[in-house]
């Protein structure tokens, strides 16, 4: 059995191309001006997984909250475990909103969003099983 590669990006490396890739994988749309902060794609395991941290501009928070996961997703739980990344700390969020959604083809999406150091941030976890 052949597995893929792991990819870890931070800061400017987590560019618009990768942010678009996160949208394609998870179905979550990021409004204009969103900024990728941290990204980790686990492709070397049996099941692929992705965790990311994205900053949403304050004037685009409402647009971000119009994503379907906020309409149809379950309010229980919080995001995935962060795959052991030191930057993964959704417990630091204030005004926190959590969502979980089963996606087609045995995929799962979980996210937490809220304020972190005055900025609106979303932690996204996605995996296949």
- Residue 105 pairs with which residues in a beta bridge? none
Q: Would you say residue 125 has pLDDT above 90?
A: yes
Distance separating alpha carbons of residues 94 and 115, to the nearest angstrom: 5
Report the number of distinct structural domains present in the chain: 1
Burial of 75 (0-12, 13-18, 19+ CB in 10 A): exposed
Does 44 map to a domain?
A: yes
Does 67 map to a domain?
A: yes
Does 2 map to a domain?
A: no
Does 90 map to a domain?
A: yes
Q: What is the tens place of the pLDDT at every residue in 79-122?
A: 668 888 999 999 999 999 999 998 888 889 999 999 999 999 99
Kindly state the tokens that stand for 120.
């609106």
> Which pLDDT score, from 0 to 100, does residue 1 have?
44
Domain carrying residue 69? 7-128
Say how many C-beta atoms besides its own lie within 10 A of residue 56's C-beta: 21
What 95-101 contacts at long range (C-beta under 8 Å, 24+ apart), as own/partner pairs, is 97/65, 97/70, 99/69, 99/70, 99/73, 99/74, 99/75, 100/73, 100/74, 100/75, 100/76, 101/69, 101/72, 101/73, 101/74
Region 17-30: mean pLDDT is 95
Does 1 map to a domain?
A: no
Does 124 map to a domain?
A: yes
Q: What is the tens place of the pLDDT at every residue in 30-64?
A: 999 999 999 999 988 778 999 999 999 999 999 99
Distance separating alpha carbons of residues 34 and 61, to the nearest angstrom: 10
């Amino acid at each position: 059995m052949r597995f893929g590669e792991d990819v870890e990006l931070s800061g400017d490396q987590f560019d618009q191309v990768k942010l678009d890739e996160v949208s394609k994988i998870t179905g979550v749309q990021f409004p204009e001006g969103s900024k990728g902060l941290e990204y980790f794609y686990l492709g070397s395991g049996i099941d692929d997984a992705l965790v990311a941290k994205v900053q949403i501009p304050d004037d685009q928070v409402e647009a971000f909250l119009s994503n379907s996961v906020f309409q149809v997703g379950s309010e229980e739980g919080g995001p995935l475990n962060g795959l052991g990344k030191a930057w993964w700390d959704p417990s630091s969020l204030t005004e926190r909103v959590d969502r979980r959604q089963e996606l087609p083809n045995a995929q799962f999406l979980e996210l937490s969003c809220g304020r972190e150091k005055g900025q609106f941030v979303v932690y996204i976890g996605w995996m296949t099983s």
